[in-house]
Amino acid sequence: MELNARRYPIGIQHFEQLRNRGCVYVDKTELIYRLTHTDQIYFLSRPRRFGKSLLISTLEAYFQGKKELFKGLAMEHLEQEWATFPVLHIDFSISKYLTADYLRAAINWHLKQWEEEYGCPASDTFFSVRLSNIIKCAYQKTGKQIVLLVDEYDSPMLDSNSDPALQNELRGIVRDFFSPIKGLGQYLRFFFITGISKFSQLSIFSELNNLKNISMRDDFSALCGITEEELLTQLKPDIEQMAEANNETYEEACAHLKHQYDGYHFSSGGPDIYNPFSLFNAFDAKEYKNYWFSTGTPTFLLDLLRQTDFDVRNLDGLTATDEQFDSPTDQITDPIPVLYQSGYLTIKGYDPTFRIYNLAYPNNEVRYGFTESLLPMYVHRFPRENTFYAVSFLRDLMKGDIESCLERTRAFFASIPHDLENKTEKHYQTIFYLLFRLMGQYVDVEVKSAIGRADVVLKLQDAIYVFEFKYDGTPEEALAQIDSKQYAIPYQMDNRQVIKVGINFDSATRTIGEWKIIRP
């Protein structure tokens, strides 16, 4: 190992393990101190792989009084007493809940552990009664209030979103488990809940009228993730090593990291947040890759987009209201808040007058990774096949062989299975949109998501291609629209040649028909 090598917490979600191994840790303990000394019961929603479990583990170490783990951190100077409290920690993400029995078994295991630890008589009664007894026993045995930490509370419901009956049963079990909390306030020092979705918490925790949702609060927006200030200060050595490994300047490495992994906003006035999972993986491998997507897109999210026939071409710019984020529904039916809460969209602006959020992809990693996940829904191919086609198209264009590129595109559409349920114009327009979006991982591509600009503008080193598609029209009509709408005007001052391409899509053959190319 190099003497200056840094150890990154990849796959490590346990604070004590992280600190004992000397891993890089971005200090969040000042925020944690403020959190634990402000109120009693909190809920925090964040996307997967954003450090929720590490935050829970850090809270656990703090309340267990493990002062030695906080040496050199802000907490070392902020906390003076280092009192210890009994901690009940449950993580719902450790299992897949294919049936209600899986959930019952997971909860029962935790309850048995706690009953043994605090000398509470074992019981076969309801989970709510057992949890209530455990909290009282722990209080009586230790003389201290209880800390209850719940990680990924919504995992059971997200796993079962496609099965309403099972989801309802799971929701009832979780609701019963948490139901005694409201009446046990005098026994609780701190209660912290994390999850991805905010939908379910409104019904599951409906009795907790003192539950404080800090998911979109400016003052706690940096609890998970890495701010730009933290990146440029605490992680400056890592940026320098990244720049050296990729033959870049420090400034170029900062810009590269920002475009690839920055851009998250979890409140209307909060700071830019970088994805910590991707950032640390990039520093470790010294490569700018799509690490977050290597863990996979949740199936429930793709199923939801399919069920609601959501127009994915609009993902580059959406709006949402406060009410949409807090909709008290028993089942997730609106994709927009879920896309935000899952990390595929983020806040890019806020209108306080109308309380409307502007949402868009946070960065390049999410835009291209999600595109790879979406394309198989429309063409029934593995993502690697679609990426191969996108690269092949680009290689043709880079050689100036647009005829081969379009022939390849024709073959791509002709190979799509004819038994697809959706054969509408929108369906094929969406495939074009996603295919060219996929190319945007390698070159600068603008793809239309609303009226007012060309279908596709693809910028290469020597040329700029302006594409317009017509569905059962003519190439001439497409070219006429490029001229009448002046789609090519913004690029006329560029030194590269601007090439206009009019293409007809034939609904009968379900692939590209005729095309016409106008070179300068």
Report the b/e string of 273-310 with b at 16+ CB within 10 A.
bbbbbbbbbbbbeeebebbbbeeebbebbeebbeeeee
pLDDT in tens, 42-57: 999 999 999 999 999 9
Rounded to 5°, angle at Cα 143 from 137 and 147:
70
Tell me what the mean pLDDT of segment 116-135 comes to: 91
CA torsion 321-322-327-332 (nearest 10°) is 60
Nearest to 178 by CA among 204, 147, 214, 152: 204
Give residue 88's pLDDT band: very low, low, confident or very high (50, 70, 90): very high
More confident residue, 204 or 143: 143
450 pLDDT more than 50: no
Lowest-confidence pick of 92-106, 206-220, 325-339, 382-396: 325-339
Question: Which are the contacts of 221, defined by CB distance < 8 A and separation ≥ 6?
Answer: 265, 266, 267, 270, 271, 273
Whether residue 468 is predicted with pLDDT greater than 70 in this model: the reply is yes
Q: Which residue has the higher pLDDT, 421 or 217?
A: 217
* Interval 272-318: pLDDT, tens: 999 999 999 999 999 999 999 776 677 778 888 888 888 888 887 89
pLDDT score recorded for residue 424: 72
pLDDT at residue 419 above 70?
A: no
CATH class of 400-518: alpha beta
pLDDT over 70 percentage in the chain: 93
pLDDT of residue 507: 83
pTM exceeding 0.75? yes
Mean per-residue pLDDT, 20-31: 97
- Classified by CATH at the fold level, domain 15-215 comes out as Rossmann fold (3.40.50)
Q: What is the H or E stretch that residue 170 is in?
A: helix 164-178
The CA–CA distances, whole Å, from 159 to 93, 166, 229, 458 equal 10, 10, 36, 39
- What's the token pair of residue 316? 């580059």
Integer angstrom CA distances of residue 138 from 146, 181, 285:
7, 14, 45
Q: What is the mean pLDDT of residues 228-237?
A: 96
Q: Is the pLDDT of residue 393 over 60?
A: yes
Mean per-residue pLDDT, 168-192: 91
Give CA angle at 309 (306, 313), nearest 5°. 100
- pLDDT band at 451; cut points 50, 70, 90: very low
**Mean pLDDT computed over 360-365:** 93
Average pLDDT, the chain: 88
Residue 453: pLDDT over 70: no
Q: Is the pLDDT of residue 420 over 80?
A: no
Q: Is the pLDDT of residue 442 over 90?
A: no
Burial class (CB in 10 A: 0-12, 13-18, 19+), 190: buried
Q: pLDDT value at position 252?
A: 97
Domain boundaries, the chain: 15-215, 226-289, 295-364, 400-518
- Give the range among 224-228, 250-254, 377-381, 472-476 with minimum mean pLDDT: 377-381
Measured at the CA of 288, the angle between CA 496 and CA 57, to 5 degrees, comes to 145
DSSP 217: -
Cβ–Cβ < 8 Å for 154, 178 = no
Out of 37-41, 254-258, 416-420, pick the least confident. Answer: 416-420
User: What average pLDDT does this structure show over 255-282?
Assistant: 95
Express each pLDDT in 318-361 by its tens digit. 998 877 776 554 556 778 888 888 899 999 999 999 889 999 99
Q: Give the CA distances from residue 127 to residues 109, 130, 146, 195, 287, in Å, rounded to whole numbers and listed in that order.
A: 11, 5, 17, 21, 48
Sorting pLDDT into bands at 50, 70 and 90, what band is 388? Answer: confident
The answer, yes or no, to whether residue 438 has pLDDT greater than 50, is yes
